[in-house]
């Protein structure tokens, strides 16, 4: 009888869970609610994966400190600051509703709610990244 090695089973299960989670967290075409919102915003405004920006410079990714290395890193710093200035406590699992199409995004949560504030931070971030030049040399680089 054929059996998958343990690593293959774990990889297959992980892939399946990722696909299911993506299906659950994404809304109808063009709109989303959930964890994938920031990724959708980044892709809409830059054409890049959000993974390209993770661990970019000193502020893109978790944490941050020091002097930003360029305009992209300053966008990440401003995004962190924006989250800090909202009237609510934002986690990485803040549920926001957004519509993205034709190169722009619109926040759908009611104005004045924590969700709308978080979404607005994400849209401003996307617009900032769109204006900034991505430098591959700054990936995993913070002097």
**Domains of the chain as residue ranges with CATH:** 28-138 (1.20.90.10)
**pLDDT surpassing 60 at residue 99:** yes
How far, in Å, CA of 111 to CA of 117, rounded?
8
State the pTM of this model.
Answer: 0.74
- Give residue-wise pLDDT tens across range 42-98: 999 999 999 999 999 999 998 899 999 999 999 999 999 998 888 777 655 567 889
- Give residue-wise pLDDT tens across range 113-131: 888 999 999 999 999 999 9
Q: Residue 3: what pLDDT?
A: 46
In this structure, the strands spanning 31-33 and 104-107 are unpaired
**pLDDT surpassing 80 at residue 17:** no
Active-site residue, from 73, 79, 116, 138: 79
Instruction: Look up 133 and say whether it is catalytic.
Output: no
Instruction: Look up 116 and say whether it is catalytic.
Output: no
Residue 73 labeled ligand binder: no
């Amino acid at each position: 009888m054929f059996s998958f090695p343990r690593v293959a089973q774990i990889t297959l299960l992980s892939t399946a869970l990722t696909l299911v989670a993506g299906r659950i967290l994404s809304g109808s075409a063009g709109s989303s609610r959930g964890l994938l919102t920031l990724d959708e915003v980044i892709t809409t405004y830059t054409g890049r994966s959000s993974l390209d920006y993770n661990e970019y410079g000193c502020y893109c990714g978790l944490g941050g400190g020091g002097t930003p290395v360029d305009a992209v890193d300053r966008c990440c710093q401003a995004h962190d600051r924006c989250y800090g200035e909202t009237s609510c406590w934002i986690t990485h699992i803040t549920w926001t509703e957004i519509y993205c199409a034709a190169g722009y995004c619109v926040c759908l949560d009611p104005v004045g709610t924590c969700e709308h504030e978080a979404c607005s931070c994400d849209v401003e971030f996307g617009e900032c990244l769109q204006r900034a030049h991505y430098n591959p040399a700054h990936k995993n680089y913070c002097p």
